[in-house]
């Protein structure tokens, strides 16, 4: 089968790999479409990523084979994957920090090599833990595969919003209007919060306005927070979300918060981030710093409802659809300065690409 194998920073190789073999309690899934996540983009440009590996975890596809002991799934069934499932028993799971669970972190779908999603290939092996504990979501006939592969970013965004504990009517500043930033705008609006968005690319900000942002701000400069303060009559925002954390965005967001505000960062921080700032200013203003790095088991029913119910225009976050062979080119565009891309969907079957 064809796969895009990560063999080092900026080295994606379009290769032939053996199709994964499955054990009696496992499933072989044909990847019909896979979303490129912010984690994928970060991993593809990081020296810390183990190579070789095949990334890509936001998968929707068709079951191609089931092991002899698998009874509740069948060949031809359309499913979306939830690529990581917590154990629900450990200390981290019992306090709803699922992404810190060793089972959550250690087991996922794979196309070969170390399990790391594997969706940038034509087939993935779904391990028994995922088969048995909610790692596959059956799709009703009306749900397209393109929409279904957005299940994980919807869940991730919901769990991040839950961490923020913001209420309807409160103002949230989303830094970054890429794939996950666009998702935040849609969901914040869906739950009655107000969103403002900043990004260096004016085209992405146009889309953010269409998705429901109340105002947008172009740039990432050091004084961006002054524009945010002016917009809020000097008060600052209740919460800020760093979708692509960097030192510059962190400091900007910190200065744009009102006293008692909350700053949430997704965990794909720029490599080796080291930052100097005055901790006293943080404590005096009683700022909460929050990290969010994964999906929440608790939010899965809501995430499924939002994906299966077509009232939320989730497809609006998609900017590009490419074949598997075109992945390196689109990744280069998505990781360039001031990228125009938002959600990228990849189609591994070369006949449909």
Residues of the shown chain interacting with Zn ion in the complex, contacts defined by CB under 5 A: 86-87, 90, 93, 101
In the chain, helix, strand, coil percent, each to 5?
35, 25, 40
Please name which of 283, 80, 267 lies closest in space to residue 163, comparing C-alpha atoms: 267
Residue nearest to Zn ion (CB): 101
Nearer to Zn ion, 6 or 104 (CB): 104
Alpha helices in the chain (DSSP H): 38-44, 91-94, 102-106, 128-132, 145-148, 151-164, 179-190, 202-211, 224-231, 247-256, 279-284, 300-308, 327-334
Residue 49 CB, shortest distance to Zn ion, in Å, is 24
Residue 100 CB, shortest distance to Zn ion, in Å, is 8
Alpha-carbon gap, residue 51 to 10, rounded angstroms? 12
Nearer to Zn ion, 90 or 270 (CB): 90
Please name which of 159, 197, 191 lies closest in space to residue 176, comparing C-alpha atoms: 197
For 97, 258, 260, 297, the CA distances from 20, given in Å and listed in that order, are 31, 52, 51, 27
Nearer to Zn ion, 129 or 147 (CB): 129
Residue 90 CB, shortest distance to Zn ion, in Å, is 3
Alpha-carbon gap, residue 169 to 11, rounded angstroms? 45
Nearer to Zn ion, 18 or 106 (CB): 106
Nearer to Zn ion, 55 or 101 (CB): 101
Residue 93 CB, shortest distance to Zn ion, in Å, is 3
Residue 257 CB, shortest distance to Zn ion, in Å, is 32
Alpha-carbon gap, residue 236 to 293, rounded angstroms? 25
């Amino acid at each position: 089968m064809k796969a895009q194998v990560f063999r080092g920073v900026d080295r994606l190789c379009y290769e032939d790999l053996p199709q994964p073999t499955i054990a009696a309690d496992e499933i072989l899934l044909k990847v019909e479409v896979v979303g490129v996540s912010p984690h994928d983009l970060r991993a593809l440009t990081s020296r810390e990523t183990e190579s070789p590996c095949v990334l890509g975890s936001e998968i929707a596809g068709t079951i191609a084979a089931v092991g002899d002991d698998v009874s509740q799934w069948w060949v031809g069934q359309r499913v979306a994957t939830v690529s990581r499932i917590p154990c629900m028993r450990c200390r981290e799971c019992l306090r709803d920090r699922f992404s810190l669970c060793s089972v959550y972190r250690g087991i996922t779908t794979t196309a070969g090599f170390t399990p790391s999603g594997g969706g940038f290939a034509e087939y993935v092996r779904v391990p028994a833990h995922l088969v048995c504990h909610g790692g596959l979501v059956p799709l009703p006939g009306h749900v397209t595969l393109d929409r279904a592969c957005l299940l994980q970013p919807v869940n991730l965004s919901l769990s991040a919003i839950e961490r923020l504990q913001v209420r309807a009517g409160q103002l949230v500043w989303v830094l970054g209007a890429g794939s996950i930033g666009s998702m935040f705008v849609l969901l914040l609006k869906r739950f009655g919060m107000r969103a403002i968005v900043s990004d260096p690319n004016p085209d992405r900000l146009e889309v953010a306005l269409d998705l429901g942002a109340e105002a947008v701000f172009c740039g990432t400069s050091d004084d961006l927070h002054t524009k945010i303060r002016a917009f809020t009559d000097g008060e600052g925002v209740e919460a800020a979300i760093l979708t692509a954390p960097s030192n510059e965005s962190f400091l900007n967001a910190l200065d744009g918060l009102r006293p008692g505000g909350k700053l949430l960062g997704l965990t794909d921080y720029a490599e080796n981030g080291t930052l100097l700032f005055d901790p006293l200013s943080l404590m005096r203003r009683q700022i909460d710093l929050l990290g969010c790095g994964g999906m929440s088991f608790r939010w899965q029913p809501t995430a499924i409802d939002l994906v299966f119910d077509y009232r939320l225009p989730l497809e609006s976050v998609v900017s590009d659809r490419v074949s598997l062979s075109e992945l390196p080119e689109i990744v280069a565009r998505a990781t360039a300065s001031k990228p125009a891309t938002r959600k990228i969907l990849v189609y591994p079957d070369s006949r449909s690409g």
